[in-house]
């Protein structure tokens, strides 16, 4: 079994020595190790990958014994249970379905939920459940409640918004802290909100981008995981940008998920620390 050990602490002398000491006592060989000290906040982050057969609780207790105040997350390397939410666009979803099927991302897609019925054939062709939860004629709250029910049925570790074009309420978001990942079709914080490609067209930018981020209560303001860009020029209409942007959107989302599902992402305040 391979494990990912993530530790956060107030920085001080001897942390690496103490933690590596516990692993040594357990007879574990470190296969990959990364540390980072955020000097502005005097904060220490460490991710360790090791293999072996251990009693997980005992290891955590041993670390806590030496370093009582640290935050510890110990995850066996494993496929994450994921629910994907979409609206009408196929490019991110299609890419995720392929990557899940062929093991390019460590996830099991439990179900796809959409407020439209457009992508059912695609999803079911991959043998995955598709839930159409229409928003038509429903109050926002009622619709979101139905979405929530559909999500909870599958008890996912992560929710991936693969171009889900409706805003989720803070109540919804707070049920899944640090567990909802969104792809936004702009280079945040440029072009927050609706129609970012139209905004980019109007401003005459020469590069467009996409941003994968954790969703928090504030729209488009959660901790950023990955960003990507592509050059454009004066020949691109807003619609051309939309088409060209699809490729960067799906790549950026896939890269973000790879990092998250491999337990490489720490969240600290409004930012991420990522050991690539």
Q: Interface residues with a copy of itself (CB under 8 A)?
A: 12-14, 16-17, 20-21, 23-24, 27-40, 90-91, 94-95, 98, 101-102, 104, 122, 125-126, 187-191, 203-207, 209, 223-229, 233-235, 237, 243, 246-247, 251, 254, 270-274, 276
- What does the buried/exposed string (b/e) look like for 156-183 if buried means 16 or more CB atoms within 10 Å of the residue's CB? bbbbbbbbbeeebeeebbeebebbbbbb
Rounded to 5°, the CA angle 122-124-128 comes to: 115
- Those residues whose C-beta lies under 8 Å from the C-beta of residue 103, and which sit 6 or more positions away, are none
What is the set of active-site residues?
A: 220
What's the closest the beta carbon of residue 143 comes to a copy of itself, in angstroms? 26
Rounded to 5°, the CA angle 47-182-46 comes to: 10
What's the closest the beta carbon of residue 78 comes to a copy of itself, in angstroms? 19
**Closer of 61 and 243 to a copy of itself (Cβ):** 243
- Those residues whose C-beta lies under 8 Å from the C-beta of residue 13, and which sit 6 or more positions away, are none
Question: Phi, psi at residue 5, to the nearest 5°?
Answer: -110, 120
What's the closest the beta carbon of residue 176 comes to a copy of itself, in angstroms? 20
User: How many angstroms separate the CA atoms of 164 and 188, rounded?
Assistant: 17
User: How many angstroms separate the CA atoms of 110 and 154, rounded?
Assistant: 6
- Those residues whose C-beta lies under 8 Å from the C-beta of residue 6, and which sit 6 or more positions away, are 45, 46, 47, 72, 73, 74, 75, 263, 266
**Closer of 13 and 137 to a copy of itself (Cβ):** 13
What's the closest the beta carbon of residue 246 comes to a copy of itself, in angstroms? 7
Question: Phi, psi at residue 207, to the nearest 5°?
Answer: -140, 135
- Those residues whose C-beta lies under 8 Å from the C-beta of residue 197, and which sit 6 or more positions away, are 185, 186, 208, 238, 239, 241, 242, 245
What's the closest the beta carbon of residue 140 comes to a copy of itself, in angstroms? 28
């Amino acid at each position: 079994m391979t494990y990912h050990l993530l530790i956060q602490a107030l920085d001080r002398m001897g942390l690496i020595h103490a933690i590596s000491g516990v692993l040594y006592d357990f007879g574990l060989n470190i296969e990959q190790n990364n540390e980072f000290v955020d000097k502005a906040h005097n904060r220490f982050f460490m991710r360790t990958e090791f293999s072996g057969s251990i009693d997980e609780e005992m290891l955590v207790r041993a670390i806590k014994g030496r370093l009582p105040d640290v935050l510890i997350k110990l995850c066996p390397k494993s496929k994450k249970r994921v629910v994907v939410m979409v609206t009408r666009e196929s490019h991110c979803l299609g890419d995720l379905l392929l990557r899940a099927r062929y093991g390019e991302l460590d996830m099991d897609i439990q179900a796809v939920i959409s407020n439209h019925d457009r992508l059912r054939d695609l999803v079911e062709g991959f043998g995955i459940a598709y839930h159409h939860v229409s928003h038509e004629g429903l109050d926002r709250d009622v619709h979101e409640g139905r979405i929530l029910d559909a999500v909870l049925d599958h008890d996912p570790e992560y929710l991936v918004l693969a171009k889900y074009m409706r805003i989720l309420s803070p109540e919804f978001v707070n049920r899944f802290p640090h567990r909802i990942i969104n792809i936004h079709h702009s280079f945040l914080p440029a072009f927050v909100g609706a129609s970012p490609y139209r905004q980019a067209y109007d401003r005459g930018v020469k590069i467009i981008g996409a941003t994968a981020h954790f969703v928090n209560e504030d729209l488009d303001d959660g901790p950023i995981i990955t960003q990507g860009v592509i050059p454009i020029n004066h020949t691109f209409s807003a619609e051309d940008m939309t088409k060209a942007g699809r490729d960067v959107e799906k790549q950026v989302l896939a890269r973000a998920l790879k990092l998250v599902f491999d337990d490489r992402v720490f969240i600290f305040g409004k930012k991420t620390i990522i050991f690539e």
